[in-house]
Structure 1
Amino acid sequence: MNYFGVFLKGILMGAADVVPGVSGGTIAFIAGIYDILLKSIRSINLGFISVWKKDGFKNAFEYINGFFLIALLGGILIGILTLAKLVSWLLVSNPIQTWSFFFGLILISAFHMFRQMKKQCSFFRFLFLVFGGVFAYVITMLRPLQFEFTGIAILFAGSLAICAMILPGISGSLVLIFLGMYTPMLEAVKSFQIDTLVLFLLGCVGGLLSFARLIYFFINKFRDVTLLFLSGLMLGSLPKLWPWKITVSWRIDANGELTPFLEKNLSPFEFEIVSAQPAQLGSAVIFMFCAVGLVLGLEKISKG
């Protein structure tokens, strides 16, 4: 296995996890490492300890596909730590083009996942696509909660966010926004607050070890309907990524700064009238097609 390639894919996953609405699990699926990731995480259990005692650490390390996990997690951490500031800056300086890119990314990713089905989509299976879309839409449209930035809240946020991060279609960042923890955690990453990051990481480990087993079970036993549900999750999250939106209400974050609380989607033409700003439709379409090209390129590389 090309572990440097796995590392680069991890960087892309980390970059995706910074963005509200984009899941690192989606990138893993497109890059062709999703099943390996779930299987490797699932193998971190009591069997790992048994192999260690019986055959030594080297065999136990191979049992959990350790080099793969280190390369991937290293890339994810590098992606989050190095690209958090860049993504934050792009969302402020070029919001329409940035959101357009992510919109195109999720749209083509849903199509990519839909094509992985082994059997034809029946009406019954189509219901799973609809259910996934409705579920994601409701989640993305809920009013954000207001959790206090405490140790327990950070652990809880980490456990929920990591579940979303490995689930294609639902973004860990989106979960943090819903919990009211996105801005504080982004600031913790940018300013490298060790205590906060360690608590969040502990929450992630707990959530990851439990949730990965559940996803692995459904992927293996009910692959087609699971893929349809995940495709629905992606399509249902698209309204959150719509490039043309205005802020309806604001809130004060943990740093005492005003941040958007509720937003409303508009058509590009309505956006120009309401905001008195250009819709930049041409560049938005170009960036959407760039995202499509990126996914098709990743798909081709993963097959090669």
Structure 2
Amino acid sequence: MDFMKNFLKGVAISISQIVPGVSGGTIAMILGIYDKLLHAVNNILKDFKNQYKILLQVGIGAVVGIFLFSNIVKALFDNYPIPVGYLFIGVILGGAPLMFRKATVKGFNKKSILYLILGIIIVLMMGTPNNDASAIITSLSLINFIWLFIGGVVVAVALILPGISGSFMLYILGLYNTVITAVVQFNIPVLIPIALGGIIGTLLTARIIEMLIIKFPEQTYILIFGFILGSVFSVFPGVDGLNSLIGIILGILGFIFTYYISRNE
């Protein structure tokens, strides 16, 4: 039972990573698995017996989700950006009450407002994702290997930080289409440096974030809450008549779904 739950959570996290502007870390928090994953990553060598299971289960789900749904989700986002955008806004906002509860366990004060605003501003300063028109990397050179490795590190950092979109960071680096194409075509040589960068980036970032959560829980969670609220603006697809109406309906459904899930976590 635990395997299937964690497997499906891994699938959901990987799907969210495909959509520019949506954060896998946010979805992990909504699903109530974020802190567990952080702890497992940071203690995998010290306590392998008790920590490997959740990483393996979520990891398998994430890999399956990426290979099964990357082409589908990208096609939906490319062809129906407005409805899909509203859907994910609903998903993000549905988990916002849970984020707020975590961030304000000891109350909400003037300092909290400053951290909240700072988190929102940081995400907004990144701008909104544009079409990645860069050349698609299909073969490896030393330069390409290094660049793809850096891309893997950046995606890992974005995955660990709720509110920061991994796919959006790939857009900034000009690697979004390269990664999606490599996944769809199962181009292992191109995926290897990305995976290596992802592993190293995850190990480094998870340790820092867990340390901040332990030492400065209220400040860290309220900053993350700001990241998440700021990401809503990045995902917002605009207004376009019927598409927006359909999107609002999907957004409400997404909100109800994730609110129900997060409430039970």
2:189 aligned residue: 195
Q: Is the 1:44–1:209 contact (alpha carbons within 8 Å) kept by the matching residues of 2?
A: no
2:182 aligned with 1:183, yes or no? no
After TM superposition, give the deviation of residue 223 of structure 1 in Å.
1.2
2:169 aligned with 1:169, yes or no? no
Q: Matched residues in 2 for 1:30 and 1:205: separation?
A: 23
Q: Matched residues in 1 for 2:18 and 2:85: separation?
A: 13
Instruction: Give the number of the structure whose residues are more often strand, by fraction.
Output: 1
Q: Matched residues in 2 for 1:97 and 1:237: separation?
A: 17
Q: Matched residues in 2 for 1:151 and 1:141: separation?
A: 27
2:27 aligned residue: 27
2:83 aligned with 1:120, yes or no? no
**Matching of residues 47-62 of structure 1 within 5 Å:** 48=46, 61-62=48-49
Pick from 227, 233, 254: which aligns with 1:233? 227
Q: Which amino acid aligns with 1:203?
A: G
1:227-264, Cα deviation, whole Å (9 max, x unpaired): 111111112122221122xxxxxxxxxxxxxxxxxxxx
Instruction: Give the number of the structure whose residues are more often helix, by fraction.
Output: 2
After TM superposition, give the deviation of residue 66 of structure 1 in Å.
1.0
Q: Matched residues in 2 for 1:118 and 1:215: separation?
A: 18
Q: Matched residues in 2 for 1:208 and 1:147: separation?
A: 27
Q: Which amino acid aligns with 2:88?
A: F
Q: Matched residues in 2 for 1:145 and 1:36: separation?
A: 37
After TM superposition, give the deviation of residue 148 of structure 1 in Å.
8.6
**Matching of residues 142-291 of structure 1 within 5 Å:** 149=137, 150-244=144-238, 268=239, 271=240, 278-291=241-254
Q: Matched residues in 1 for 2:129 and 2:235: separation?
A: 15
2:96 aligned with 1:110, yes or no? yes
Q: Which amino acid aligns with 1:243?
A: P
Q: Matched residues in 2 for 1:146 and 1:93: separation?
A: 20
After TM superposition, give the deviation of residue 75 of structure 1 in Å.
0.6
Q: Matched residues in 2 for 1:191 and 1:146: separation?
A: 18
2:259 aligned with 1:299, yes or no? no
Point out which structure has higher relative CO (alpha carbons under 8 A, 6+ apart): 2
Structure 1: tracts of 5 or more residues without a match: 49-59, 245-267, 272-277
1:40 aligned residue: 40
The 1:291/1:43 distance shift into structure 2, 3 A limit, reads: same
Q: Matched residues in 2 for 1:174 and 1:111: separation?
A: 24
Indicate the SS of the match to 1:120. Answer: coil
The 1:145/1:134 distance shift into structure 2, 3 A limit, reads: farther
Aligned residues with identical type, % of pairs = 32
After TM superposition, give the deviation of residue 191 of structure 1 in Å.
1.0
Q: Is the 1:38–1:216 contact (alpha carbons within 8 Å) kept by the matching residues of 2?
A: yes
Q: Which amino acid aligns with 1:35?
A: D
Q: Matched residues in 1 for 2:202 and 2:72: separation?
A: 27
Q: Matched residues in 2 for 1:145 and 1:122: separation?
A: 44
1:85-139, Cα deviation, whole Å (9 max, x unpaired): 1101111232211111012222333333012221111011110000000000001
After TM superposition, give the deviation of residue 212 of structure 1 in Å.
0.4
Q: Which amino acid aligns with 2:170?
A: L
User: How many matched pairs?
Assistant: 257
TM-score (norm 2): 0.90
The 1:145/1:86 distance shift into structure 2, 3 A limit, reads: closer
Indicate the SS of the match to 1:126. Answer: helix
Q: Matched residues in 1 for 2:210 and 2:18: separation?
A: 24
Q: Is the 2:116–2:223 contact (alpha carbons within 8 Å) kept by the matching residues of 1?
A: yes
Indicate the SS of the match to 1:170. Answer: coil
Q: Matched residues in 2 for 1:5 and 1:71: separation?
A: 9
Larger Rg: 1
TM-score (norm 1): 0.79
Q: Is the 2:95–2:262 contact (alpha carbons within 8 Å) kept by the matching residues of 1?
A: no
